[in-house]
A = this chain, B = another copy of it.
Amino acid sequence: MSKQRPTIADVASRAGVSKGAVSFALNGRPGLAQATVDKILAAADELGWRPSNRARSLSVSKAFALGLVITRDPDVLSSDPFFSAFIAGVESVLSTRGQALVLQVVTAGEEEEAGYRRLAQDGRVDGVFLSDLRHEDPRIDLLVELGMPAVTLNRPDGTSPFPAVVLDDRPGTRAVVEHLVALGHTRIAHVAGPPAFVHATARSTAFVAALADAGLQPAAIETGDFTAAAGIEATRRLLALPEPPTAIVYANDRMAIAGLGAAQAAGLTVPDDLSIAGFDDSELAEYVHPGLTTVRADPFRFGEAAAQTLNQVVDGESDVPDAELAPAELVVRRSTAAPPPA
């Protein structure tokens, strides 16, 4: 009994045909008599033949894999909770197509570009997901230069040859603001993400716009970098204002949960003295005390849609349309309530 796995040549000799015929049959190409096709498929089946990725990769010049580059700033793995589920969604698509997901973690800066270059030059992947989009994102031109197919997670601000998978953050942000306004808040502050990121500014402009629609102005806007440490700092600054806000809307849950801790450490009771809202609906949001009012997206679906869209591009379809997902929705928990009486 041969331990080696059967090759296409084994199938050919068992079916009594040539290698070429086998290849045709297995790829469902026309030009073979039906009887021959059946015979070949039967032989392949009996032998338990499975295609060799490596050989296929070489001859068709494809990797049968997609790539995700994660930029790891000193200690931030992007928006953590997001990625776990996103990757699971991607995987759910790839596994049905025999593709693999290649992950690359790079530190921010120079190395980032090198990361994409490596992925491309090594021919590891057929396309990449572009996450944490930045304004005037240099990676778009880089990928064009490298001839690497891609999809952007959310819509870039400049022109882009790649389809975008978009999950509109704005309705969720708007809903948070409306919720707070309805509770009676008038001094609402925002802790934004780094302005370099498209989704960070999208959330903060939506915040400002929603407030304006209610005839209000932001009590203050602080900027953080999505880390817990930044959430603490920003919160302290807000609470130290002469007229501190009665509600704070954070651009992500991590900063919000840290902000919650900072407010409590400052002796405030949430939500009685201060309302707090996050964004992401990460696992802990539900379980901290008080439960965090936040905005829930569906990262798994996001991953699915991104993988499907990227594969369309990789498969050479032209004019692949953007994929739109259901917008993020408000989840009201205990961290928001009416403002304290003046």
Which residues does A use to contact B, with CB under 8 Å?
Answer: 5, 50, 52-55, 57-58, 61, 63, 65, 72, 75, 77, 80-81, 84-85, 87-88, 91, 95, 98, 100-106, 118-119, 121-124, 227-229, 231-232, 254, 257-258, 260-262, 264-265, 283-284, 286-291
Contact = CB atoms under 8 A, between A and B. Distances in A.
A28 to B, nearest CB: 20
Given A53-B122, A54-B58, A81-B80, A284 B265 contact: no
Given A254-B284, A283-B227, A286-B228, A95 B123 contact: no
Given A122-B98, A261-B288, A287-B261, A91 B75 contact: no
A84 B80 contact: yes
A52 B100 contact: no
A207 to B, nearest CB: 23
B104 A100 contact: yes
B100 A88 contact: no
A148 B261 CA distance: 46
Contacts of A228: 283-284, 286-287
B232 A258 contact: no
Nearest to A121: B50
Given A53-B123, A122-B98, A123-B53, A232 B104 contact: no
A27 B283 CA distance: 50
A77 B72 contact: no
B75 A87 contact: no
